[in-house]
Amino acid sequence: MNEILGVLIYEDAQPMDIIGPWEIFAFWKNIIKASLDMFLVSENGAYVQCVNDIVLKAHVNFSHCPDLDYLLVPGGPGRHQQVNNDKLISFIQRQSRHCKYILSDCTGMFLLHQAGLLNNQSATTYWQALPELKSFPEVQTVEKRIVKSGQVWTAGGVSSGIDLALALIATIAGEEAAGKVQLLFEYFPNNKVYCTPDTVQQLPPYPGSTDKNAPPLPHYIRDYIDRFKTGPTD
């Protein structure tokens, strides 16, 4: 019997949080022939307007979504509204009762928190949202790209979902399977760093933040910049 993966979609979600992991899982399913069924899931099962003029079509709505083995929750500015969407939060809670793993990318973590899944757990999120995460005393903030805490896995911002998907495949099917997908996907970042730690001061304020000062870079990003600042140029 195939396992079932669901990716939640909602208005003003960040499409890369959805499409990046989806494509990784799709390569695994369609080329490596993993025993996996995949669904985009929305409240109404209709078209969903994400940010940056990307529209996605759900396969199923909350009522007709099967019991999932894995659920991925994306972030994006829409999460500010969705934390107050009782139907969406109830859907996450209901699926969590039988999911092997619940995963979030970027600020999707805040929806997991609203669902009560992060109490006494470790978690990460998009680096600019780390101060917000640290305001929750019941959650241990960990400044890492991926944090695995029991049933719940959280990842940093936007592109982190690709790494999260590969990590899940490695856990489910082994590193050899993850390696095949990585090679097929040609996911080998050049490790060229264009920014410096001071670049943070040139960024616009994080939406929704009342602090005019930029949040400090987490150590894992600083370490990456330091490691690859003299990396390959081509």
pLDDT in tens, the chain (234 residues): 899 999 999 999 999 999 999 999 999 999 999 999 999 999 999 999 999 999 999 999 999 999 999 999 999 999 999 999 999 999 999 999 999 999 999 999 999 999 999 999 999 999 999 999 999 999 999 999 999 999 999 999 999 999 999 999 999 999 999 999 999 999 998 888 999 999 998 999 888 777 778 888 999 999 999 988 765 555
What residues make up the domain containing 80?
A: 3-185
Could you tell me if 32 and 147 lie in one domain?
A: yes
CATH number reported for the structural domain that contains residue 41 in this entry = 3.40.50.880
Could you tell me if 160 and 201 lie in one domain?
A: no
Q: How far is CA 27 from the centre of its chain?
A: 18
Contact 8, 68 (CB under 8 A): no
Q: What is the dihedral of CA 78, 146, 227, 205, to 10 degrees?
A: 20
Could you tell me if 211 and 154 lie in one domain?
A: no
Could you tell me if 104 and 211 lie in one domain?
A: no
Report if residue 100 sits inside a domain: yes
Could you tell me if 100 and 19 lie in one domain?
A: yes
Could you tell me if 19 and 65 lie in one domain?
A: yes
Could you tell me if 205 and 141 lie in one domain?
A: no
Residues 6+ apart with CB under 8 A from 30: none
Cα separations in angstroms, 137 against 84, 96, 119, 129, 131: 20, 22, 9, 15, 12
Name the burial class of residue 4, with classes exposed (0-12), middle (13-18) and buried (19+) by CB atoms within 10 angstroms of its CB.
Answer: middle
Could you tell me if 39 and 87 lie in one domain?
A: yes
Could you tell me if 45 and 97 lie in one domain?
A: yes
Contact 19, 40 (CB under 8 A): no
| Strands 146-149 and 152-155, sheet pairing | antiparallel
Written as six digits, the tokens of 77 are 């500015």
Contact 156, 126 (CB under 8 A): yes
Model-level pTM?
0.94
Could you tell me if 52 and 161 lie in one domain?
A: yes
Report if residue 233 sits inside a domain: no
Could you tell me if 131 and 80 lie in one domain?
A: yes
- Total structural domains within the chain: 2
Written as six digits, the tokens of 153 are 């896995």
Distance CA 151, CA 77 (A): 25
Could you tell me if 142 and 205 lie in one domain?
A: no
